[in-house]
Amino acid sequence: MTVEQIIFLFVAAVTLIAGISVVTSRNLIHSALWLILTLSGIAVFYVLLNAGFFAVIQVVIYIGAIAILFIFAAMLTRRVMQDTGPQSNSNWWLGAVVALLFFAGITLILINWQGFATQAPMLTNTSGQLSQLGLALVSPDKYVLPFELASVLLVAGMIGAIFVAGDKKQ
């Protein structure tokens, strides 16, 4: 085993344990903290894949913004220090079915996938990757449509949030 594989296995174990703890821990803030550990584990995977840009973006967006918003929302809406309510409601079986279907689908795809045996191609031109990504996002024959659609969706979400939160003077 190479050093990289050992690091991968260790981080994978930590990420999985943290992911399970997100669901099982009774305190909402503790769940959010476990979520942060899970997300940083994923950032380490990006580093192992030589994608430093994505690792940093993962930390900026998911840990720096989304996890902090989760914590903030939990602090505003619950009595945070003594929060020990029930962990599931009556729809728990729906969630379980969806999760099982999703898991089965991923397993089916991975069983038929041939990529495990092939060697990953060596990366060339590591410094130019960022500008290649930027060009790919705005070039019409690549990803400009998904990119623009995502930004329209985000703008709609933002306007909706402002509308819900704003003063309604009629």
Which sign, positive or negative, has the C-alpha torsion 108, 110, 111, 114?
positive
Q: Which segment (9-17, 51-59, 84-92, 100-108) binds another protein by CB under 8 A?
A: 51-59
Residue with structure tokens 């690792």?
55
Residue with structure tokens 């990289």?
4
Determine the size of the site formed for another protein (CB under 8 A): 26
Residue 155 contacts another protein per CB under 8 A: no
Please count the CA atoms within 13 angstroms of the CA of 93 that sit on its side-chain side. Answer: 1
Q: Which segment (8-16, 50-58, 86-94, 156-164) binds another protein by CB under 8 A?
A: 50-58
Residue 60 contacts another protein per CB under 8 A: yes
CB nearer another protein, residue 61 or residue 97: 61
Residue 35 contacts another protein per CB under 8 A: no
The 3-state DSSP class for residue 57 equals helix
Phi and psi at 12, nearest 5°, equal -65, -45
Residue 77 contacts another protein per CB under 8 A: no
Residue of the chain from 7, 48, 59, 143 that contacts another protein (CB under 8 A): 59
Alpha helices in 90-128 (DSSP H): 92-111
CB nearer another protein, residue 4 or residue 141: 4
Q: How far is the CB of 43 from another protein (least distance, A)?
A: 9
CB nearer another protein, residue 19 or residue 37: 37
> Which token pair is 86?
């029930």
Q: Report how far Cα 14 is from the mean position of its chain's Cα atoms.
A: 16
